[in-house]
């Protein structure tokens, strides 16, 4: 994916969630990478669920099922 | 005062989901993806904070994220971190994370840890 990472947003999110902690120079890029991989995994699981239900479109319930599977991620 | 109270992942990034799905996604599904994203980040920051405070630091380093990704089984012995970086991040960021690109001479450089 050729998108720019939301580096400032990631830093703000960490600061909001865990005051006192900060992200080092390149760590935010890896967090972004992790997020992309999470989305990819969620999308793949949801896609499988949609196929199993013979649905041609990914519906909310497919994603909810997928999210339950990867909860222990 | 229009600013949201909590900084969140922007909607446009959640749309990346659509690129990965490779099939039509119902509009209302994005609300669920957004919810999942929130939960994901909550857990992510918890884990990262735990890892770095375990190492006695207040800064989340590259190595903390690497350990996390190893736990998530994203980074394994077969798929090292720099392969994931090369596959998923654009060139500019790859340059920051891997100072020397792997080329024909098959020299695998150290990943910058700072």
Q: Using one digit for the tens of pLDDT, what is the confidence trace for B30-86?
A: 888 998 899 999 999 999 999 999 999 999 999 899 999 999 888 888 988 888 988
B8 vs A: CB within 8 A: yes
B88 with A64: Cβ contact below 8 A: no
ipTM of the complex: 0.90
Kindly tell me if the per-residue pLDDT of B101 is higher than 80: no
B90 with A42: Cβ contact below 8 A: no
Contact indicator for B82, B102 with CB cutoff of 8 Å: yes
Phi (first) and psi of residue B84, to 5 degrees: -60, -40
Structure confidence at residue A30 (pLDDT): 92
Alpha-carbon distances, residue B44 vs A67, B55, B59 (angstroms): 15, 17, 14
Question: For residues A40 and A27, what is the distance between their CA atoms, to the nearest angstrom?
Answer: 20
A31 with B17: Cβ contact below 8 A: no
* Residue B65 distance to chain A (closest CA, Å): 7
Closest CA to B31 of A53, A26, A64, A38: A64
Residue B61 falls in which region: left (phi positive, over 0), alpha (psi -120 to 50) or beta = beta
For residue B25, what are the β-bridge partners?
A58
CB pairs under 8 A between A and B: 158
B112 vs A: CB within 8 A: yes
Q: Hey, how many other C-beta atoms are within 10 angstroms of the C-beta on B109?
A: 11
Search chain B and give the residue with CA nearest A2.
B90
Contact indicator for B48, B68 with CB cutoff of 8 Å: yes
For residue A22, what are the β-bridge partners?
B59
């Amino acid at each position: 994916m050729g998108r720019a990472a939301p580096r400032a947003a990631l830093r703000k999110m960490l600061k909001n969630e865990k005051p006192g902690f900060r992200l080092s120079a390149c760590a935010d890029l890896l967090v972004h990478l992790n997020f992309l991989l999470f989305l990819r995994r969620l999308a793949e699981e949801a896609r499988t669920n949609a196929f199993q239900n013979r649905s041609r479109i990914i519906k909310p319930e497919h994603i909810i099922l997928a999210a339950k599977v990867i909860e222990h991620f | 005062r229009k600013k949201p109270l909590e900084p969140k992942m922007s909607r446009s990034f959640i749309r990346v989901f659509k690129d990965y799905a490779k099939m039509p996604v119902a509009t209302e599904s994005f609300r669920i993806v957004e919810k999942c994203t929130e939960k994901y980040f909550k857990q992510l920051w918890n884990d990262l904070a735990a890892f770095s405070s375990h190492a006695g630091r207040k800064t989340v380093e590259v190595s903390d994220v690497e350990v996390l990704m190893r736990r998530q089984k994203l980074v394994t012995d077969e798929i090292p971190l720099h392969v994931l970086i090369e596959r998923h991040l654009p060139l500019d960021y790859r340059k920051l994370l891997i100072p020397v690109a792997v080329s024909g001479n098959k020299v695998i450089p150290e990943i910058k840890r700072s």
